[in-house]
Structure 1
Amino acid sequence: MQATLSPSASRWPLWRKWLFCFSCIYLLLFISPLTWLASVPGLGEVAGAYGAAEGWLVNLGNRHLFHVKDVLVPLNGSGDTSYGYAQLCFFALAGVVGATLWVLLDRRRPSYDTGYRWLLVLVRYFVALNALGYGILKLFALQMVPPTLSALATPLGDFLPMRFSWYFIGYSKPYQVFSGAAEVAAGVLLLWRRTSTLGAFVAASVFLNVMMLNLCYDIPVKIFSIHLFVLSVFLLLGDAGRLLNFFILNRPTPPAPEAAPLPWRWRVAQLTLKAVFIGLFALLPLYQYAQGSATASAPAKGRLATGFFEVERFEANVPDSLRWKDVVFEANTSGSVGSPDTLLRQRYRRGYFAYTIDSASRTIAFKKMASDSLPLFTLRYAQPDSNHLVLRGRMRNDSVLIALRRQRRHFQLAERQFHWLSEANR
């Protein structure tokens, strides 16, 4: 692979030029630099037009060639939807066809040394910005959240592997900060050419772990995490011979060739662009994520007793199997009930909801999602004391009365236990 990617030879063989052309087309489509313009004010239309054209081609290819699924599910919180796999097939097909035509039409060109260097720069910044984006969130413990009260009240066996792994990392803030620091270190090292080899080495190690977590715990970012690992390795292939000599063969390793120094004006422009990239694609997403998290975790307006409540009385015209067994009101505007009632959003055998408080009319509006404009139902509430809550109103066009009593549930997992001295397995 060293011979494949090293730019030292003056004339490249045909197979090597084809590999470069395929890599160039495939990676440009995957990285999709034009979509980055969506973050730039006034240029979102360009990114939108590009996305629409790509979507049309992916769907066209799926109908006639790929047949991943009859109706493709678009990309959402999961990057591994049927559209994601059809998109991957389209990128590969475009790379094969485009590289073949490129090499045939440009067969007199001896090599693509300059193009290879610029492709490395693009890939280096792409990996760096993703490492910084994910790493900064983890560095401030914003990506994975600790188990909520609703999660603590859910039997372990009801969790899906993805949610189980999410809480595993979110439970320990120091571990999440540590993993974020490793990603940030990789991103920072990749931003500078002199430290890019070390940065690629760290990034490959970090994203190998992320990739294996996603594969082994069924986390729906498999395609993207595999690409981040492969791209980190791609950055190392040009130095494969030197790394092999140093780490394995115990042979003398020559230094990497030095690039010609840039004039100071170009150097200032380079540093300015670097700062803009960091601001747009690392710090700005952090600010937006923090703002969204602050809004989501803001306490509900009005005073409402929160915590874990046992249902003492449930009067409603519903089957016994749908009756509420317990209710959790989180400190923010979310909660859950111990019931398989599909009127609420079902996750892990609990019905999840968002709620808003109207302290003037003393009502609680229950929604499936916080973004919903209309509530599922609205109940009046009364608080005889801080440990009791009574809900009255109509649900499914029928009267309902729910009497709740706070339980002082003791969850050991919420205690953040740590022991230097452990006399036995716990």
Structure 2
Amino acid sequence: MKNKSGFLNQSIKTFIGFYVLIYIFPFPVNHFPYGYMLISQHIDSAKGSLSLFVGKYVLGFENLEYVPLNGSGDTTLDYISLVSYGLLAALISMAVLFLVRNKSRLDQFYHLILIYARYFVGLTLISYGVIKFLQGQFPSPSYLALESTYGDFSPMGLAWRFFGYSDLYKGFMGVAETMAGLLLLIRRTQLLGALISITVTANIFLVNLSFDVPVKLFSGHLLFFSLLIALPYLRSLIDFFLLHKPSQLTSIVYPLTNKWKKIIYWGAKAYFVGL
């Protein structure tokens, strides 16, 4: 029974790991100079082709079209992509579970995926936070908006004007998102960053859901990834906050004994934090 439970747990983590990898990749290639032009757009196109195939030949949809960078993340094809990524992750997971004999490698893979997700969520939240201070996401209401009637606004337009009215609230959101992102980039503060990120991304997801902002899938995944990052510490959090037991966080250590590995690691970290 214990072996079955352990295998099921490992299977779920392996599936989640590959799903996260498929969803996030080719990040961070697109942050490199010419990265999108040379690599990312081709990978995105391949993922779009996979979703088109699944949509047409598995789910029976017609008249589907892949449109890159269309400004919306909630198209029919985007919803189909969840199914296509899930199917691909399931197939890869079954093959890996069958072929890999050393199961500890799968645990290492899952921990690395959590690091990958941590940097993805962290850098995304930092970009979300910084743009709040640059009048980029929620600009102050224009004269045209102020002269428009309530019925002229879409739900998203109404929300954008509402948030754009208060510089204080924009600043509060920007600080919260930036702080969560920065804390996620540091291993020792990743749990605190994940907990703040959960509250921040839950708010973002709820706003997108409530006001029909077409980024519901992406914000939902940010919330999902934040929960995954905090999940390994769930037992310690329950002991401390609910059971009032002495509790200590377990630190996952990734030893880098090779000098060049350390140089590459810290160089890559400095590069992405400075983006």
After superposition, where does 1:16-415 map in structure 2 within 5 Å? 16-32=9-25, 34=26, 36-43=28-35, 44-72=37-65, 74=67, 76-106=70-100, 108-111=101-104, 112-257=106-251, 259=253, 262=256, 266-280=261-275
Deviation of 1:262 (Å):
4.6
Equivalent pair of 1:79/1:220 in contact (CA under 8 Å): yes
Deviation of 1:255 (Å):
3.3
The letter for the 1-side match of 2:40 is A
Equivalent pair of 2:180/2:196 in contact (CA under 8 Å): yes
Distance 1:68 1:240, change over 3 A: farther
Equivalent pair of 2:52/2:66 in contact (CA under 8 Å): no
Equivalent pair of 1:73/1:82 in contact (CA under 8 Å): no
Q: What is the CA–CA distance in structure 1 between the aligned matches of 2:252 and 2:12, rounded to whole Å?
A: 25
List structure 1 segments (4+ residues) > 6 angstroms apart after TM superposition: 9-12
Distance 1:137 1:255, change over 3 A: same
Q: What is the aligned partner in structure 2 of residue 15 from structure 1?
A: 8
The letter for the 2-side match of 1:71 is L
**Equivalent residues, number:** 270
Q: What is the CA–CA distance in structure 2 between the aligned matches of 1:140 and 1:131, rounded to whole Å?
A: 15
Q: What is the CA–CA distance in structure 2 between the aligned matches of 1:87 and 1:72, rounded to whole Å?
A: 12
Say which structure, 1 or 2, has more relative contact order (CA 8 Å, 6+ apart).
Answer: 2
The letter for the 1-side match of 2:30 is A
SS at match of 1:88: helix
Structure 1: give runs of 5+ residues left out of the alignment. Answer: 1-8, 281-426
Structure 2: give runs of 5+ residues left out of the alignment. Answer: none
Q: Percent identity between the aligned chains?
A: 33
Q: What is the CA–CA distance in structure 2 between the aligned matches of 1:271 and 1:28, rounded to whole Å?
A: 22
Q: What is the CA–CA distance in structure 2 between the aligned matches of 1:10 and 1:190, rounded to whole Å?
A: 34
Q: What is the CA–CA distance in structure 2 between the aligned matches of 1:265 and 1:153, rounded to whole Å?
A: 61
Q: Which has the higher strand share?
A: 1
Q: What is the CA–CA distance in structure 1 between the aligned matches of 2:237 and 2:243, rounded to whole Å?
A: 9
The letter for the 2-side match of 1:37 is V
Deviation of 1:259 (Å):
2.3
Deviation of 1:100 (Å):
2.0
RMSD value, Cα: 2.3
The letter for the 2-side match of 1:196 is Q
Deviation of 1:140 (Å):
3.4
Distance 1:68 1:149, change over 3 A: farther
Q: Which has the higher helix share?
A: 2
